[in-house]
Amino acid sequence: MRCILIVSLFLFRLTIGFPIDQYPIAETARPVVIWHGLGDNWNSSGIHRVEEIFASYYPGIRVHSISLNDDPSKDQQRSMFGDANIDIEQVCDTLTNIDYLSNGFDAVGFSQGGVLMRALIERCASVKVINFISFGSPHMGVSELPLCDDKDWLCKRRNALLKKQIWYDSVQKRVIPAQYFRDPRQYDKYLEHSNLLVDINNEREDINSTYTERFSEINKLVLVSFLQDTTVVPKQSSMFGDMDYFGNEINWRDTRLYRDDLIGLRKLDQAGKVIMLEIDDEHMRIPEDMIHHIAKTYINH
């Protein structure tokens, strides 16, 4: 029950509008790999629409939608429950054995999928990501469960209870969103118990230089944030921003992760490879023109 309650607070799906038009044709294109978000699945209508838009610019483009199970309903469950480290290993093995990905691909991660995609880039030596596009992904974690209405005391009590359980080993190795929970007010517990994020952010004493090298080798890092986001708290996490113990916002360039270049973000920035885009809407409410902009500007470029 504990695991189900935690996941239920984070559920969302990719939502895109559907205007139709004609677009320029390209003869060849680099393949694309997409990792969907929490509560979504590899075969959803939103993912298919993204594939259609990419294909409208690059007919014949190969788009691989990551799945942890061929059954969409089971894949959806896998986005909520499991050990993210095992999932990343599985995806690494799968992508390594797809011939058309061997020369590199562009990667798109939606929300949670962006965090997992970054972990893949850092850990999987046999894949080569060229451009990485991340939509609303909590790269610096989430420090709060989704906000409750001011008068919803039941919701607030539930959140308080769940936050007390977030560091349990049974939760960290079973509930996917718990594995990128990161509260500056509980930073010591995060360093000790986090099952995923603390490792891929290189925040422990033993820095994995391989992560830094691999992530800094991508061609472009495109970070898309949602200005009205109340699912990812703090919302600047999608831009590698952070907050301090008192809840004050820390600009991404002022974080330890950037200053000490723990994952290669500073190197990418200094090379002019970091692009930041904003959507004035709620979490994962993506206007279709943004997908077109991504297709025209960052896919196959």
DSSP state of 300: T
pTM for the structure as a whole:
0.90
Helix crossing, 84-96 with 112-123: angle to 10°? 60
Does the pLDDT value for residue 165 go beyond 70?
yes
Does the pLDDT value for residue 295 go beyond 60?
yes
CA 26 to chain centre: 28
Residue 82 located in a structural domain:
yes
Residue 91 located in a structural domain:
yes
Residue 17 located in a structural domain:
no
Of all helices (H) and strands (E), which one includes residue 57? Answer: helix 45-57
Report residue 199 as tokens: 């490792």
Average pLDDT over residues 244-273: 98
Residue type, 226: F
Q: Are 121 and 107 in contact (CB under 8 A)?
A: yes
Domain CATH number, residue 83: 3.40.50.1820
Question: 176-185 pLDDT, tens per residue?
Answer: 999 999 999 9
Domain that holds residue 38: 32-142+208-298
Q: Are 273 and 298 in contact (CB under 8 A)?
A: no
* pLDDT reported for residue 148: 76
Structural domain total, the chain: 1
Residue 158 located in a structural domain:
no
d(CA 22, CA 297): 17
Question: 120-160 pLDDT, tens per residue?
Answer: 999 999 999 999 999 999 999 999 876 777 888 888 887 78
Question: 259-286 pLDDT, tens per residue?
Answer: 999 999 999 999 999 999 999 999 999 9
Positions marked catalytic: 111, 229, 283
Q: Are 72 and 13 in contact (CB under 8 A)?
A: no
Taking the CA atoms of 178, 179, 183 and 187 in sequence, report the sign of the dihedral they define: positive
Question: 4-42 pLDDT, tens per residue?
Answer: 444 444 555 566 654 434 444 445 899 999 999 999 999
d(CA 168, CA 76): 23
CB-based contacts of 30, cutoff 8 Å, min separation 6: 61, 104, 105, 106, 130, 299, 300
Question: 43-82 pLDDT, tens per residue?
Answer: 999 999 999 999 999 999 999 999 999 999 999 999 999 9
Query: Average per-residue pLDDT in the chain?
Result: 92
Q: What is the chain's alpha carbon radius of gyration, rounded to the nearest angstrom?
A: 18
Q: Are 147 and 164 in contact (CB under 8 A)?
A: no
Residue 147 located in a structural domain:
no
Residue 87 located in a structural domain:
yes
The values of phi and psi at residue 263, to 5°, are -125, 5
Residue 235 located in a structural domain:
yes
Taking the CA atoms of 134, 93, 74 and 80 in sequence, report the sign of the dihedral they define: negative
Q: Are 10 and 40 in contact (CB under 8 A)?
A: no
Residue 263 located in a structural domain:
yes
